[in-house]
Amino acid sequence: MSYTISGGSAEVQNLDTTFTALADPTRRAILARLVRGEASVQELAEPFAMSQPAISKHLKVLERAGLISRGRDAQRRPCRLEAQPLAEANEWLERYREVWEQNFSRLDVLLEELKAEDARPKTATTRQRRKTHKRK
Amino acid sequence: MPTKDIGKLTIVAAGDRELVMKRAFHAPRKLVYEAWTKPDLLKRWLTGPDGWTMTVCEIDLQVGGSYRYVWKNRDGNEMGMGGVYREIVPQERLVATEKFDYAWYPGGAVLTTTLTEHGGITTVETTVTYDSKEARDGVLASPMESGVTAGYDRLEKLLATNFA
C-alpha cells in the first residue's frame, strides 16, 4: 500500500533496476566493500570463490543500475560506489515502512483491548459491547 | 523470539517482484486473525498515514468472496482497493488478490498472509507478489530529490536490513 504519487517512467525504471541489482548477495557484498572505498576488479573478486569474469558480470549489473561507476584507467578500471540510486530506493522503503509501522502500532493497541476483553468473564453485556465496538 | 524483536517490522524486497513484510504481535493468533478479518476491527488499525480514515470496509471471507476497502483523507481525497480471496485457512493463511481503483501500479498483486503462534506471540508474514517487475517498484517510486546523498551509515543499514 502506498500513498505517494508515482513519478515518471525514468524513476520507475531506476527503482526497478536498483532492486534487481540488490537482490543478489554477492552484489550486496560488493557494494558493502565499495562503501569503504573504491577497488579494482581483482580486489573485489578476492573474497569470493569466483572468477574475475563472474565478478565482472555482477559489476555490469551494478553499473547498469547506476550503483557503481568504473574508472577509465584501462589497466585498473577501479569501481566506485554511486549513492543516488540507493538513496532513492531507501526513501521509498522508508515511506512504505512508516505507513505500516503506524498501522501495526494501532493494531498493537487494539490487540491489548481484545486480550483484556477475552480475559473478562463473559456476560451478556460483554458480548453486546464486542458487537458494537464503541470507541472509548 | 527475543523480546526486542516483537513489534519490529521488517520489509524485504525479494527477487524482482516481491515484498515480504513480517511483524510479531504480543497476542494469540485467534485475536490477530480476527483483527485482520473483521471489518469493525480492521477499520480501527488499517488506516494508513495520519489524516486518513477507512470509510469503507467490506469483507466476504470465503474463497471466491471479495473485499473492498476505501480510505478518505482530510482533504476529501479517496483511495479504494479490493480483491478476491483465493485461499483461506482460518487463523493460518489468507491468499487474496489486490487491485487499487486508481492504478498506482500496472496490474495487481497477490497477497499471501500467514500467521504462526509460539508462546503467545503471533508472527504475521505477508508476501506481496506483484504481477510484474515494473509494478513492484513502479507506482511506489518516490519523487527524485536532487542532491540527496546517503551517508555511509544509511547505506550499510540499507544493505543489511532491507535486502537480506
What is the tens place of the pLDDT at every residue in A93-109?
Answer: 777 788 899 999 999 99
Chosen CATH of B3-141 out of 3.30.360.10, 1.25.40.10, 1.10.10.60, 3.30.530.20: 3.30.530.20
Tell whether A81 is within 8 A of chain B (Cβ).
Answer: yes
- β-pairing verdict for A68-70 and B66-73: unpaired
User: Which of A49-58, A70-79, B122-131 is predicted least confidently?
Assistant: A70-79
For residue A129, what are the contacts with CB-CB under 8 A and spacing of at least 6?
Answer: A117
Are A99 and A127 found together in one domain? yes
Same domain flag for A37 and A91: no
Task: Examine the domain organization and report whether A33 and A73 are in the same domain.
Answer: yes
Residue A3 lies in a domain: no
- Domain segments of chain B: what residues? 3-141
Instruction: Output the domain CATH number for residue A21.
Output: 1.10.10.10
Count of structural domains within chain A? 2
A90 and A77 in one domain? no
Give pLDDT, residue B142: 32
- Parent domain of A30: 9-82
A23 and A76 inside one domain: yes
A98 touches B: beta carbon within 8 Å: yes
> pLDDT band at B9, cuts 50/70/90?
confident
Higher-scoring residue by pLDDT: A130, B125: B125
**Same domain, residue pair A71 and A90:** no
The least confident of A53-57, B113-117, B158-162 is B158-162
The structure's pTM equals 0.62
Q: Pick the residue with more confidence: B14 or B46?
A: B46
Q: Are strands A68-70 and A79-81 parallel, antiparallel or unpaired?
A: antiparallel
Asked whether residue A68 is assigned to any structural domain, the reply reads yes
CB contact under 8 A, A133 and B137: no
- Which ranges constitute the DSSP H helices of chain A? 9-22, 25-35, 41-45, 52-64, 84-119, 124-132
> Is A72 found in the same domain as A14?
yes
Chain A interface, mutation test: which of B100, B139, B142, B155, most A Cβ atoms within 10 Å? B142
Instruction: Indicate if the pLDDT at residue B23 is higher than 90.
Output: yes
pLDDT classification of B12: cutoffs 50, 70, 90:
confident
Our CA-based measurement puts residue B134 at a distance from the nearest CA of chain A, in whole angstroms, of: 6
Digit-coded pLDDT (tens) for A46-72: 888 788 899 999 999 999 888 899 887
Higher pLDDT, B110 or A15: B110
- Residue B84, pLDDT above cutoff 80: yes
CA A82 to chain B, closest CA, distance in angstroms equals: 9
* Cα–Cα dist B152/B164, whole Å: 18
Do A72 and A92 share a structural domain? no
A-chain residues near B57 (CB < 8 A): none
Q: What are the pLDDT digits (tens) for B30-65?
A: 999 999 999 999 999 999 888 899 999 999 999 999
Comparing C-alpha atoms, which of A48, A73, A66, A91 is closest to residue A10?
Answer: A66
Given a cut of 80, is residue B1 above it in pLDDT?
Answer: no
